[in-house]
Amino acid sequence: MSDTEALRAAADEFLVRYGGDRFDRLFATASGTIVTDDTGREILDFTSGQMCATIGHNHPAIIEAMAEAGRTAIHMFSGMIPQPVARLGQKLAREWMPAPLSKSLIVNTGAESNEAALRIAKLVTGGYEVLALGGSWHGVTGGAAAVSFASDRRGYGPPVPGVHAIPEPNAYRPAFAGATPEASALAGLAYGLAQYDMASRGAPAAIIVEPVISAGGVLVPPKAYFEALRQAADERGMLLIFDEAQTAFGRIGARTAAEHFGVTPDIMSVSKTLGGGLPVAATVTSSAIEAKVHARGFTFYTSHVADPLPALAGLAVLETIRSERLIERASEQGAYLRAQLEALQQRHEAIGDVRGLGLLLGVELVQDRHTKAPDHALGARTTARCLELGLSMNIRRRPERGAVWRIAPPLTVSRAEIDRAIAILDQALTECAATKD
Ligand SMILES: Cc1ncc(COP(=O)(O)O)c(C=O)c1O
C-alpha cells in the first residue's frame, strides 16, 4: 500500500464522519483559488474553502499575521486584552460597521458569534422567544442550531425553547401564488408574524436572519423585507440580529449586507469572511446595548475569546480587502461570473435560475423549467464530474431545499479562472445531461 493509500485508509479508520460532502481522496495544499489533492491534482476551489478564504488561500498577509503572532503572542489568559484585539475592535467600528455598531466581542466561530448575539438579546429584553427564517443556518451549537432549519435537527433531543420559524422569501418559488417576489416575501413575513403573535408567551427577544439565506439555497430577500423585519422587531421590542458570516467584508460587493440593504440591525455577527481561513468571529453591537448587558452581568468567557493570533488574521484580512480593492473586485468579477452563468443558462435547459449578490451566486438545477421540480440526480452527477475535471463546487443536499450550487470563489479569483470554471461546468452539464437515465 502506498503512503497515499495508507493515509486514506487511516482517515477511514480513525476519523469521525461529520456529515456534508466527503471525498475519497485526501487534500494536501491550498493557495489562491487552487487546492491540490493527495495525487497532486489541482482543483479550482469555487467554495473558498468553507466560504472563509475570501482573500484566497494562504495569502501572504495571513502567513505574515501568523508569523507576527509567533513573534509576539498566540494566546493569552482570557481576561488579558491583547493589543491586536483592541486594534481589531477599533478597525471594525471605525471602518466597517454601520453606526451605531461599535462594540465587538471577538470569538472564533460563526456558531459562537450567534450564541453570543442570542445571549445578548435575551439579557437585554428579558425574553427568550426568537424568530428565525426557514432554510437558515446559524451553526451547530445549542442556541445556534435551535434557530437553524437547513441543518440536521433529528435525533439530538429538544432544542432551546422559544424558537419560531417564519417562511423564507424565495423569489424563484414565491410561496404566494401569483404574487410578485417582493409581495410574496412580505406576505410570508406577515403570515409568520401573525402565527408568532398568536403563539407568543409574551417574551420576545430577537429576530435572527442571514441577509442572503445561503445554505438554504442562496436566496436573496428584497430590501423591503429587511425594512419590514426592522419594523417587526421594533414593534415587538425584539432585537434584530444579522448573521453576516458569509455576507460581510466584501463578498457581496459591499462592506456589509446591512450597508447593501440600508437596514441596520441591533447586533451583527461576523465570522467566516473575517479570518481568511483562521477561526475568528465577532459579535458587534451598540455601546448602549453593551452597557445594558454589562450591567446585567453578561458573560461569554471562553478559552479563546480575544486571542491575539486570530485577531491578527482578522486585521490582515481587512487590510488586504482594502489594499487589493476586493469589494470592487467582488462586484466586477461577480457581474462577469453571473453573465457567464446566465449564458450557460441559455444553452442548458436544466439551469432554472441564476441568482445571488456579488461573488455569492446560486445556480438552481431543475428537471423542467415549467414545473421547477429540482433535479438532484443531475446535480449530484454534475458536481462529481466537475470535481473530476478540476472544479470544486458545493451543492445543496437536502431534497426540500432544491438542487442549488453555491458558487463563491475567493474575491481574488481571476477572469482566466472564471473562464476555466465555466468551461468545466459547460462540459459537465453537457455530458451529464446526455447520459441522463
Ligand atoms: C450564515 C452562517 N452562520 C453561521 C454559520 C456557522 O459558522 P461556524 O461553522 O463557523 O460555526 C455558518 C456556517 O456555515 C453560516 O453559513
pLDDT in tens, 55-91: 999 999 999 999 999 999 999 999 999 999 999 999 9
- State the Cα–Cα distance between residues 275 and 66, nearest whole angstrom: 12
DSSP 172: S
User: How many domains are there within the chain?
Assistant: 2
CB 215 near ligand 1, within 6 Å? yes
The torsion defined by the Cα of 195, 198, 202 and 205, in degrees rounded to 10, comes to: 0
| Options 272, 329, 355, 385, the catalytic residue | 272
Question: Is the pLDDT assigned to residue 400 strictly greater than 90?
Answer: no
- State the Cα–Cα distance between residues 395 and 194, nearest whole angstrom: 33
How remote is the CA of residue 311 from the centroid of ligand 1, in Å? 18
Task: Provide the CATH number for the domain around residue 318.
Answer: 3.40.640.10
How remote is the CA of residue 109 from the centroid of ligand 1, in Å? 7
Which three cell numbers mark 286? 451598540
Residue 307: name the closest of 5, 99, 66 by CA.
Answer: 66
Is residue 42 domain-shared with residue 66, that is, in the same domain?
A: no
Q: Is residue 428 part of a domain?
A: no
pLDDT class for 436, splitting at 50, 70, 90?
low
| Strands across the sheet containing 34-37 | 27-31, 34-37, 42-45, 391-392
| Options 91, 112, 137, 367, the catalytic residue | 137
Residue 347: name the closest of 415, 403, 430 by CA.
Answer: 430
- State the Cα–Cα distance between residues 84 and 73, nearest whole angstrom: 10
Is residue 171 domain-shared with residue 68, that is, in the same domain?
A: yes
pLDDT of residue 22: 80
Is residue 163 domain-shared with residue 33, that is, in the same domain?
A: no
What are the Cα distances from residue 140, in Å, to 64, 109, 137?
A: 31, 10, 8
Q: Considering 272, 300, 323, which residue would you say is the last residue of a domain?
A: 323
Question: Is the pLDDT assigned to residue 336 strictly greater than 80?
Answer: yes
User: Contact 230/258 with Cβ under 8 angstroms?
Assistant: no
Residue 59: name the closest of 421, 413, 426 by CA.
Answer: 413
Q: Is residue 268 part of a domain?
A: yes
Atom of ligand 1 nearest to the CA of 136: 1
Q: Is residue 100 part of a domain?
A: yes
Question: Is the pLDDT assigned to residue 399 strictly greater than 80?
Answer: no
Phi-psi region of 302 (alpha: psi -120 to 50; beta: other; left: phi over 0): beta
Residue 321: name the closest of 92, 101, 103, 84 by CA.
Answer: 92
Is residue 102 domain-shared with residue 236, that is, in the same domain?
A: yes
- State the Cα–Cα distance between residues 14 and 378, nearest whole angstrom: 32
User: Contact 125/294 with Cβ under 8 angstroms?
Assistant: no
How remote is the CA of residue 433 from the centroid of ligand 1, in Å? 33
Which three cell numbers mark 9? 485508509
Q: Is residue 129 part of a domain?
A: yes
What are the Cα distances from residue 251, in Å, to 46, 129, 259, 284?
A: 13, 31, 13, 19
Is residue 7 domain-shared with residue 81, that is, in the same domain?
A: no
pLDDT class for 437, splitting at 50, 70, 90?
low
Is residue 306 domain-shared with residue 255, that is, in the same domain?
A: yes
Atom of ligand 1 nearest to the CA of 215: 16
Q: Is residue 383 part of a domain?
A: no
Is residue 42 domain-shared with residue 120, that is, in the same domain?
A: no
Closest residue CA from atom 7 of ligand 1: 110
Question: Is the pLDDT assigned to residue 210 strictly greater than 80?
Answer: yes
CB 110 near ligand 1, within 6 Å? yes
Is residue 187 domain-shared with residue 301, that is, in the same domain?
A: yes
Q: Is 341 helix (H, G, I), strand (E, B) or coil?
A: helix
pLDDT of residue 152: 84
CB 394 near ligand 1, within 6 Å? no
Mutate to test the pocket of ligand 1, among 133, 208, 272 (most ligand atoms within 8 A of CB): 272
Q: What is the 3-state secondary structure (H, E, C) of 74-131?
A: CCCCCCCCCHHHHHHHHHHHHHHCCCCEEEEEEECCHHHHHHHHHHHHHHHHCCCEEE
pLDDT of residue 42: 98
137 forms beta bridges with none
Is residue 26 domain-shared with residue 161, that is, in the same domain?
A: no
Q: Is residue 148 part of a domain?
A: yes
pLDDT of residue 404: 95
pLDDT of residue 158: 93
Is residue 322 part of the annotated active site? The answer reads: no
User: Contact 407/417 with Cβ under 8 angstroms?
Assistant: no
Mutate to test the pocket of ligand 1, among 219, 246, 249 (most ligand atoms within 8 A of CB): 246
Is residue 16 domain-shared with residue 131, that is, in the same domain?
A: no
Closest residue CA from atom 3 of ligand 1: 138
CB 269 near ligand 1, within 6 Å? no
The C-alpha angle with vertex 282 and arms to 123 and 238, in degrees rounded to 5, equals: 35
Q: Is residue 392 part of a domain?
A: no
Question: Is the pLDDT assigned to residue 398 strictly greater than 90?
Answer: no
- State the Cα–Cα distance between residues 264 and 227, nearest whole angstrom: 9
% of the chain at pLDDT higher than 90: 93
Q: What is the DSSP string of 211-257?
A: SSBTTTT-B---HHHHHHHHHHHHHHTPEEEEE-TTTTTTTTSSS-H
The reported pTM is: 0.97
Is residue 183 domain-shared with residue 284, that is, in the same domain?
A: yes
- State the Cα–Cα distance between residues 309 and 105, nearest whole angstrom: 15
CB 212 near ligand 1, within 6 Å? no
Q: Is residue 162 part of a domain?
A: yes
Residue 33 structural domain: 1-46
pLDDT of residue 433: 87
Is residue 105 domain-shared with residue 178, that is, in the same domain?
A: yes
How remote is the CA of residue 329 from the centroid of ligand 1, in Å? 24
Residue 407: name the closest of 351, 349, 369 by CA.
Answer: 351
Q: Considering 323, 352, 380, which residue would you say is the last residue of a domain?
A: 323
Give, rounded to a whole angstrom, the gap between the first and last alpha carbons of the chain: 37
CB 46 near ligand 1, within 6 Å? no
Residues 6+ apart with CB under 8 A from 369: 349, 352
According to DSSP, the β-strands at 204-209 and 239-243 are parallel
According to DSSP, the β-strands at 42-45 and 101-107 are unpaired
Q: Considering 268, 300, 323, which residue would you say is the last residue of a domain?
A: 323
Is residue 292 part of the annotated active site? The answer reads: no
**Average pLDDT across the chain, whole number:** 96
Entry field: residues in the chain = 437
CB 107 near ligand 1, within 6 Å? no
pLDDT class for 381, splitting at 50, 70, 90?
very high
